[in-house]
Amino acid sequence: LSGKLNGVFDRLRRRGALTEADVAEASREVRLALLEADVALPVVKDIVAKVRERAVGAEVIKSVSPAQQVIKIVNDCLVEALGGGEGVEHVPGISLAAAAPVAILMIGLQGSGKTTTSGKIALRLRTRDKKKVLLASLDVHRPAAQLQLETLARQAGVTSLPIVAGQSPLQIAARAMEVARGELYDVVILDTAGRLSIDEALMDEVAAVKAATRPHESLLVVDAMTGQDAVQTARAFNERVGVTGIVMTRVDGDARGGAALSMRAVTGAPIKLLGAGEKLEALEDFHPDRIAGRILGMGDIVSLVEKAAETIDRAEAEKMAAKMQKGQFDLEDYAGQLKQIGKMGSLSGILGMLPGIGKMKAQIENANLDNTLLKRQAAIIGSMTPKERRNPDILKASRKKRIAAGAGATVQDVNRLLKQFDDMSAMMKRMSKLGQKGMMRGGLG
């Protein structure tokens, strides 16, 4: 019996914040999922540590289990580790921001998809970016390699460098750059030879070509299906040659994509493109959230928690509505509103959750509440005392001056805020009347 009671007390206590135990339990699950998705062990450890740091003490969301909530935090950490996340502008694709002809060096192991990807990139640059593209094969080791690229170039509608027998990769690269300069190409894609595994001769050859051509992008092409081995490949190429971006191929297979996370962690280079098939059109931009979802394989839980987090906002909105109806809305609440608005992106978003508000939407949207203004207002309220926030009426000239100075604003800004607060209180009183009518008709729907 006492064990049972303890359990109850534990649960009671745990409402409020995620505990070490919650997080430890969920971490085990997460660790397994990541390893199953082929994420390299050291990377798994890093992610789990970051999750732990962020999750312990995080506010508990009602109606989801702590484990589910941790999984959502894991998802966010994965997205960030892959170069995405809130406030981060993820720019997919390759960069051509250099003087023409811009050289792109394709590197990677044999069979990873370098030649195919060269053709795919050429097609995309020609059709989408309207670039004049030259393809050159530096693969003198496999007899058919140069012909393979020539065929792909024809399919992509771009030119390939004429094949000259007996030239070394360095000589071919030099000739490609010379032709590109002379014939005003925008982009030269240099497709190098691979080996079945990393060896010194390959690295030397690629490094020499890179030194001679100074490519703007050095794209490492890696097969997603190689899983754990992708880490060694990425590390070796990055250390010996230097990598500016990664292309992960064969994402049309059933690999979970953990290699992307490992390679990004090891090289720091962004994943730029995905190969999703043998056809030249099968080239995709990389989206961190999509791959994170695929790695974790728990998309249902992530969206469940996202919905639950919205519900918190809804509960808060309803609490606010009750306060408004009692005429208790003060500057403290207004500051809380500003925070919510910032989080949800718009005032109408949060007020839309209140019952009976639909008709007011247009009016709200016209209320001229832009984001910088909201931030400044939050700062002004922040430099008030709690007493002032509860009784804005006591704000006379000297207090206003002090508050303005504290927030790095002017007295006019303070006045503007107070006017806005008055307007909003008035608007809310009207809305809460509407809301009450709505509630009488159809309840809190």
Contact between 75 and ligand GDP per CB under 6 A:
no
Any known ligand binding at 345?
no
d(CA 259, CA 21): 30
Size of the site for ligand GDP (CB under 6 A): 18
Q: How far is the CB of 151 from ligand GDP (least distance, A)?
A: 11
Q: How far is the CB of 278 from ligand GDP (least distance, A)?
A: 4
Any known ligand binding at 108?
yes
Task: Report yes or no: 400 and 407 within 8 Å, Cβ to Cβ.
Answer: no
Contact between 68 and ligand GDP per CB under 6 A:
no
Q: How far is the CB of 416 from ligand GDP (least distance, A)?
A: 57
> Residue with structure tokens 């791959």?
291
Task: Report 268-327 residues binding ligand GDP (CB under 6 A).
Answer: 275-278, 282
d(CA 279, CA 117): 10
Residue 47 token pair: 């992610």
Q: Quick one: which of 378, 326, 318 has its CA closest to 350?
A: 318
Any known ligand binding at 251?
yes
Q: Which of 31, 52, 72, 114 is close enough to bind ligand GDP by CB under 6 A? A: 114
d(CA 110, CA 54): 41
Q: Which of 69, 115, 117, 262 is close enough to bind Mg ion by CB under 5 A? A: 115
Contact between 140 and ligand GDP per CB under 6 A:
no
Contact between 115 and ligand GDP per CB under 6 A:
yes
Task: Report yes or no: 138 and 192 within 8 Å, Cβ to Cβ.
Answer: yes
Q: How far is the CB of 282 from Mg ion (least distance, A)?
A: 16
d(CA 158, CA 167): 22
β partners of residue 283: 275
Q: Minimal CB distance to ligand GDP: which residue?
A: 275
Contact between 267 and Mg ion per CB under 5 A:
no
Q: Which helix (H) or strand (E) holds 176?
A: helix 169-182
Q: How far is the CB of 142 from ligand GDP (least distance, A)?
A: 8
Size of the site for Mg ion (CB under 5 A): 2
Q: How far is the CB of 212 from Mg ion (least distance, A)?
A: 20
Any known ligand binding at 115?
yes
Q: Quick one: which of 128, 185, 184 has its CA closest to 156?
A: 128
Q: Quick one: which of 270, 254, 237, 256 has its CA closest to 114?
A: 237
Q: Which stretch binds Mg ion (CB under 5 A): 109-117, 236-244, 376-384, 403-411?
A: 109-117
Q: Which does 258 bind (CB under 5 to 8 A by kind): Mg ion, ligand GDP, none?
A: none
What residues have CB less than 8 Å from 142, skipping those under 6 apart?
A: 110, 193
d(CA 225, CA 256): 8
What x-and-dash track marks residues 173-212 binding ligand GDP by CB under 6 A?
---------------------x------------------
Q: How far is the CB of 109 from ligand GDP (least distance, A)?
A: 7
State which residue, 254 or 393, has the beta carbon closest to ligand GDP.
254
State which residue, 112 or 238, has the beta carbon closest to ligand GDP.
112
What x-and-dash track marks residues 238-257 binding ligand GDP by CB under 6 A?
-----------xx-x-----
Task: Report yes or no: 106 and 116 within 8 Å, Cβ to Cβ.
Answer: no
Task: Report yes or no: 202 and 191 within 8 Å, Cβ to Cβ.
Answer: no
Q: How many helices (H) and strands (E) does the chain have?
A: 19, 8
Under the phi-then-psi rule, with left for phi > 0, alpha for psi from -120 to 50, and beta for the rest, what region is 350?
Answer: alpha
d(CA 147, CA 114): 14
Which amino acids are annotated as binding site for GTP, given as ranges?
Answer: 108-115, 191-195, 249-252
- The residues that touch ligand GDP, with contacts defined as CB under 6 A, are 108, 110-116, 194, 221, 249-250, 252, 275-278, 282
- The residues that touch Mg ion, with contacts defined as CB under 5 A, are 114-115
